[in-house]
Amino acid sequence: MNITIIGAGPAGCYAGYLLAKTGHTVAIYENHPQIGTPIQCTGLLTSDFDQFQLPMDSFLVNTFKEIEVYSPNKSLKIAQKEYLVCRKRFDNFFGDLAKKEGAAVFVNHSFVRKEGKSLVINDTVNKKEKRITPDIVIAADGPLSPTAKAYGLYHPQRENYFGIQATVQGTFNPHSFQTYFGVEVCPELFAWIVPESSTTARVGIAMRKNSRAYFDKFMKQHHFTAVEMQAGTIPVYHPQQVLRKENCYLLGDAAGFVKATTLGGLVPGLKQAEILVDCINNNKDYQRKVKPLAKQLKLHLAMRRIFDKFSDRDWDRLVSYVAQPKIQAVFEKYTRDNPVPLVTNALMKEPRFLYFVKHLI
Ligand SMILES: Cc1cc2nc3c(=O)[nH]c(=O)nc-3n(C[C@H](O)[C@H](O)[C@H](O)COP(=O)(O)OP(=O)(O)OC[C@H]3O[C@@H](n4cnc5c(N)ncnc54)[C@H](O)[C@@H]3O)c2cc1C
């Protein structure tokens, strides 16, 4: 089949690679002049990334042994293997995989609109529009997905966060990264300090509104000066988001497939790409086949709704519950990309977690 993918991010390129490998004619259109730039991501991956069995040497920046969690008056360390990647090299790795399998990648080509069954693509260098009529369209064009909007697929109640991040110099433990929770630090999510090395870190915050004010406050408190700044939109998963209409399928951030507790979308987007390719190749129902992954994202969303109502005392209480050895062991066994067993096991071992469910009402 003739398949067009809009967006050469990791989700689009991974799907393009798998589709080209299975015999399809694949064209990927990217509106930027290069794959992977501008960088708008911290680049943290849980060890669930191992399941893709991909060589990491071209894009791996650092590997962590633990996560440090800070609430206003408590802290804990969770042993977990996590990866930090360079998004420019990460995205190009997937772009190269797709190209090697024969996919055509067109940079400086922007999806503009849909006209009947055709897509209008603008070659932004030569200022020429072309019309294409593929058998299948994959909208992998990020959180604001113009393609999803053109197909009338973009759920009107979708929400977005806005993340701001800086690269800073300092002295860091390169084996762990830090997360800061609390109403004063970041009332809607958390702030992070993620070391690239013992001297450089990525520091950021994400919120629906006011990211900049809280980011500036956090930077000041930690005496950081930005060497380089990045910012970007991150979608919140919406459980009623329809993923297919006519011949168009949504993928990755375009589908809102991001963990609402941490705003990590890389591992979910890659898992979703594998499911989508299986559905296209074997004529399966995408919305149905993606359900197990969606279930994990729904749980993240429920937790997000609880955390949105947290007081500083709730954050302290949560950290003290998790710091118990029996619960810490659960948090060290399951990653956040696999929250269903994590939450189920934690609840079985510590029923006091149910105290927080009142915030869902
Ligand atoms: C500050 C910040 C920190 C983050 N940190 C993490 C993290 O640590 N770990 C994690 O897992 N996730 C993180 N994320 C989220 C992560 O970046 C996204 O989930 C991920 O990039 C989604 O990949 P994707 O391929 O679906 O979309 P994208 O990477 O957004 O790729 C979409 C592509 O489509 C292109 N495009 C858009 N419109 C058009 C058009 N009209 N025509 C052609 N091309 C178009 C874009 O240029 C882009 O290249 C972070 C996000 C932000 C903003």
- Is the CB of 207 inside a 6 Å radius of any atom of ligand 1? no
138 alpha carbon to ligand 1 midpoint, in Å? 15
Distance in Å from the first CA to the final CA of the chain: 48
Q: Examine the domain organization and report whether 66 and 203 are in the same domain.
A: yes
CA of 144 to the centre of ligand 1 (A): 10
**Same domain, yes or no, for 209 and 132?**
no
Tally of domains in the chain: 3
264 CB within 6 A, ligand 1: yes
Q: How far apart, in whole angstroms, are the C-alpha atoms of residue 182 and residue 222? A: 16
Asked if residue 10 has its Cβ within 6 Å of ligand 1, the reply is yes
pLDDT of residue 213: 96
Say how many Å lie between the CA of residue 253 and the centre of ligand 1: 6
- Shortest-distance atom of ligand 1 to CA 255: 26
Give residues with Cβ within 8 angstroms of 245, minimum separation 6: 151, 152, 153
pLDDT of residue 360: 85
Based on the domain organization, do 63 and 131 belong to the same domain?
Answer: no
Q: What CATH code is carried by the domain that includes residue 249?
A: 3.50.50.60
256 within ligand 1 shell (Cβ under 6 A): no
Say what the pLDDT of residue 307 is.
96
Closest CA to 68 of 190, 153, 185, 162: 190
Whether 278 and 211 share a structural domain: no
For every residue of 191-209, DSSP letters joined together read EEEEESSSSEEEEEEEESS
Residues 141 and 228 in one domain: no
pLDDT digits (tens), the chain, 361 positions: 999 999 999 999 999 999 999 999 999 999 999 999 999 999 999 999 999 999 999 999 999 999 999 999 999 999 999 999 999 999 999 999 999 999 999 999 999 999 999 999 999 999 999 999 999 999 999 999 999 999 999 999 999 999 999 999 999 999 999 999 999 999 988 999 999 999 999 999 999 999 999 999 999 999 999 999 999 999 999 999 999 999 999 999 999 999 999 999 999 999 999 999 999 999 999 999 999 999 999 999 999 999 999 999 999 999 999 999 999 999 999 999 999 999 999 999 999 999 999 998 8
46 lines ligand 1 (CB under 6 A): no
SS3 content of the chain, % helix, strand, coil (to 5): 35, 30, 35
Give CA–CA dist 87/99, Å, rounded.
18
Distance 142 CA to ligand 1 centre (A): 5
User: pTM of the predicted model, to two decimals?
Assistant: 0.97
Tell me: do 135 and 229 sit in the same domain: no
| 93/174 same-domain check | no
337 lines ligand 1 (CB under 6 A): no
Determine whether the shortest distance from the Cβ of 6 to ligand 1 is under 6 A: yes
Q: Is residue 285 within 8 Å of residue 296, measured between CB atoms?
A: no
CA of 143 to the centre of ligand 1 (A): 7
Residue 182 and residue 288 in one domain: no
Predicted pLDDT at 38: 94
Q: CB of 204 closer than 6 A to ligand 1?
A: yes
Based on its alpha-carbon atoms, the radius of gyration of the chain, rounded to whole angstroms, reads: 21
Structure tokens that stand for 62 in this block: 């650092």
Half-sphere exposure of 34 (CA within 13 A, CB side): 10
* Helix residue ranges, H only, 104-240: 146-150, 211-221
Residue nearest atom 19 in ligand 1 by C-alpha distance: 265
Domain that holds residue 149: 2-40+87-158+238-300
Instruction: Tell me the CA–centroid distance for residue 7 and ligand 1, in Å.
Output: 9
What's the confidence (pLDDT) of residue 361? 81
